[in-house]
Structure 1
Amino acid sequence: MDLQQRINAFSNLGAFLEQFSNDKIEKKDQVLYNDLFFDGFIHQLKIAQEHNDWFTKENILFSLEGWHKLLTKKNIKKWLTPYNIVEKTPKKVAIIMAGNIPLVGFHDFLSVLISGHHVIVKQASKDRHLLPFLAKYLEYVEPQFKGCITFKEEKLTDFDAVIATGSNNTARYFEYYFKGKPSIIRNNRNSVAVLTGKETHDELQALSEDIFRYYGLGCRNVSKLYVPKNYNFNAFFEAMYHWHPIIDTAKYANNYDYNKAVYLMSEFDMLENGFLMIKEDKSFSSPIATVFYEYYDSQDQLKETLKRKKNNIQCIVSKGFDDKEVYFGNTQKPQLYDYADGIDSISFLGKI
């Protein structure tokens, strides 16, 4: 199987996923093997929701929409153009996936297979239903993928390299356990937004997507704001308000109530609007339903601070602050070349 065959297979998968969006779910006759897979995938969507309360239908479909837009021949070829992908004997690459948001490990899965390697996937317990079904679809549109994709629940064995994502504690375990193998080990990161007080209502409203999408559980979600001294949060809260139905989700509401009670009993100063709390805090990782904030004196000084703390940061959301900034509202719309932790997985896979 050559690179073009692999690109064709993933672009066919993208066409399959295009049928599933928050606007509508609609079966299209021209999609390959649709009679075999369309109804089955609808069933998998329901099972995924039943097994993880954070995986709402809206959030799952949001993820699928993002992937169908990326998985086109044009996008994949543009992504791979800078690389010299040479056909060689495939290696077995193990992927240990997180389960915080739907299909969070799909980019690693795609990268391994598009590079011509075989993949061994160990999924998180709360996200086990969508990817195996999509892998089966890939095997139908490109039969040479059969034997290249393995899902395992038990201990990983017989692999040549590993890509593992987990908490700071599990990352230390991964680094020790996999020290004899080529590896990419990822730990906790969070995203921040740098505000100046000059943002428009539309920009702040777009920022709300970066904060609330997936209930804030992703590493690309904004969990921390940097604001100038004497910043007025009124415009910020006004722009957040259209997300107020999020409090109707029982699990989110429980977290909101619990964290609010903790803050009140601890006599912490915080501001809240009935579904979001903001608290001054130097930490990056904020609890669910909470966003931390910190004041800065100058942008130059803040740039130096964030540079020193770059290993804690996934994205910087801003306007004209940083060369690699993400514009408001786009943290959960990464491109194929937006690598987690800034580690180029295609280059890594080309060297093993």
Structure 2
Amino acid sequence: MNEHPKTFIAFVKLGTFLREFCNSLQNEDEWSVKLNEAIELSKHKNGWFTRENVMFALENWGELLTENNLQAWLSKYSLSENRPKTVALILAGNIPLVGFHDFLCVLLTGNKVLAKLSSNDEALIKFITSYLTFLEPIFKDLIVFEKEQLKEFDAVIATGSNNTSRYFEHYFGKGPHIIRKNRSSVAIISGKESPEALKALGEDIFRYFGLGCRSVSKIFVPRNYDFDLFFKSIYDFNSLIEQNKYANNYDYNKAVYLMSEFKILDNGFLILKEDEGYSSPIASLFYEFYDEPEELKNRLAADKEQLQCVVSHGFMEDEVAFGQTQKPSLTDYADNIDTVDFLLRT
């Protein structure tokens, strides 16, 4: 860290700015105005990026980007061992700032970013780049955005779907790389949860409209589970149906399920469908009954490559608490691959 103190300090200042922006009612200074413009532009380019969801992401990053948090995170690594390199980043755009952690890892380890941004989430990353460069001009030489084919890089971190991952493997598989595929998150319900715990689970399900890999898309429930308490506990999220894109998905998926004569449970804004799969469509939540907890643990262990988060309470190691999937820490690496370690070893 001593080798690149300017980048570290700039990210700390970025965190301060984001916290002040999220806590202020005025936001009339030059950079706050620019961030508001970026939020509006991101919403225009991606209808899923409501101001509420963008502000949620900005607030989380503001809380993470403190000197103490960054110091505690990076102190576990020998950053002086890094060999400066250019790292190509192919970023997803499903939720606001979804690729920012990779961006942060590359720059704080003393490397350069060569990024291909998703058109669905470019305004916010570009704003942050402008602000960092304003704070510390060195970033002008450390961050490059590329719209065409990526060239002249030493390693690549690419995030996409199962389909695009095959393309990434073909083009980038010969060099150092992290290539991420689709992952899903699940929750284990014991039947003993309080209404507060189930409402917190609603945050894991509905934040970002369920579009993130950390969004719970399936629940496992005990045999003969009564869904009434679950539906009552998540009712406060019913305003989601007022969002046109969400409502359209709800109507479409409900029609498909009914025409296919699937048995579904429905509360007017969420469809529950019994299904062995992990990745449910928008406005839908898969569920599956379980009898023996140990059997379920073995099933989840066997399928760990498909899973990002397992939400539960006292069920298994590495579980995520109810309501916390969308608040990852700096050490919560996508696909459980330590990005900083990868960058330092490459």
**Cα gap change, 1:253 to 1:55, in 2 (>3 Å):** same
Q: State the 1:87 CA deviation.
A: 6.0
Match of 1:126 among 114, 117, 120: 120
Q: How does 1:279-298 map to 2 (within 5 A)?
A: 279-298=273-292
Aligned to 1:9: 10
Match of 2:315 among 315, 318, 321: 321
Conserved? CA contact 2:21–2:32, under 8 Å: no
SS at match of 1:20: helix
SS at match of 2:120: coil
Identity of aligned residues (%): 53
**Cα gap change, 1:274 to 1:175, in 2 (>3 Å):** same
Aligned Cα root-mean-square deviation (Å)? 1.3
Aligned to 1:103: 97
Q: State the 1:175 CA deviation.
A: 1.0
Conserved? CA contact 1:2–1:87, under 8 Å: no
Aligned to 2:263: 269
Q: State the 1:171 CA deviation.
A: 0.6
TM-score scaled by length of structure 1? 0.96
Conserved? CA contact 2:45–2:119, under 8 Å: no
Conserved? CA contact 2:109–2:344, under 8 Å: yes
Conserved? CA contact 2:85–2:112, under 8 Å: yes
* Alpha-carbon distance in structure 2 between the residues aligned to 1:151 and 1:268: 46
Q: How does 1:83-162 map to 2 (within 5 A)?
A: 83-86=77-80, 89-162=83-156
Aligned to 1:309: 303
**Long gaps (5+) in structure 1:** 29-34
Q: Which moved further from structure 2: 144-153 or 201-210? A: 144-153
Conserved? CA contact 2:4–2:108, under 8 Å: yes
Q: Residue by residue, what CA displacement relative to the aligned partner does 1:172-225 show, whole Å, maximum 9, x if unpaired?
A: 111111022100000000000000000001000000000000000000000000
Q: Do residues 228 (structure 1) and 229 (structure 2) align?
A: no
Q: State the 1:6 CA deviation.
A: 2.0
Aligned to 2:19: 18
**Long gaps (5+) in structure 2:** none
Q: State the 1:88 CA deviation.
A: 5.0
Aligned residues: 345
Q: State the 1:4 CA deviation.
A: 2.8
Match of 1:243 among 211, 214, 237: 237
Q: Do residues 166 (structure 1) and 160 (structure 2) align?
A: yes
* Alpha-carbon distance in structure 1 between the residues aligned to 2:246 and 2:83: 47
Q: Do residues 58 (structure 1) and 52 (structure 2) align?
A: yes
* Alpha-carbon distance in structure 2 between the residues aligned to 1:312 and 1:239: 28
TM-score scaled by length of structure 2? 0.97
Q: Residue by residue, what CA displacement relative to the aligned partner does 1:220-270 show, whole Å, maximum 9, x if unpaired?
A: 000000111011100000011000000000000000000000000000001
Q: State the 1:143 CA deviation.
A: 1.8
* Alpha-carbon distance in structure 2 between the residues aligned to 1:162 and 1:27: 37
Aligned to 2:334: 340
Aligned to 1:32: none
* Alpha-carbon distance in structure 2 between the residues aligned to 1:335 and 1:322: 19
SS at match of 2:43: helix
Q: State the 1:322 CA deviation.
A: 1.3
The residue identity in structure 2 corresponding to 1:223 is S
* Alpha-carbon distance in structure 1 between the residues aligned to 2:82 and 2:257: 57
The residue identity in structure 2 corresponding to 1:282 is E
* Alpha-carbon distance in structure 2 between the residues aligned to 1:145 and 1:2: 15
Q: Residue by residue, what CA displacement relative to the aligned partner does 1:257-286 show, whole Å, maximum 9, x if unpaired?
A: 000000000000010000001000000000
Aligned to 2:65: 71
Conserved? CA contact 1:92–1:120, under 8 Å: yes
* Alpha-carbon distance in structure 2 between the residues aligned to 1:16 and 1:241: 34
The residue identity in structure 2 corresponding to 1:162 is V
Conserved? CA contact 1:49–1:56, under 8 Å: yes
SS at match of 1:185: strand
* Alpha-carbon distance in structure 2 between the residues aligned to 1:177 and 1:144: 30
Q: Residue by residue, what CA displacement relative to the aligned partner does 1:32-89 show, whole Å, maximum 9, x if unpaired?
A: xxx5422111111111111111000000000000000000000001111111111655
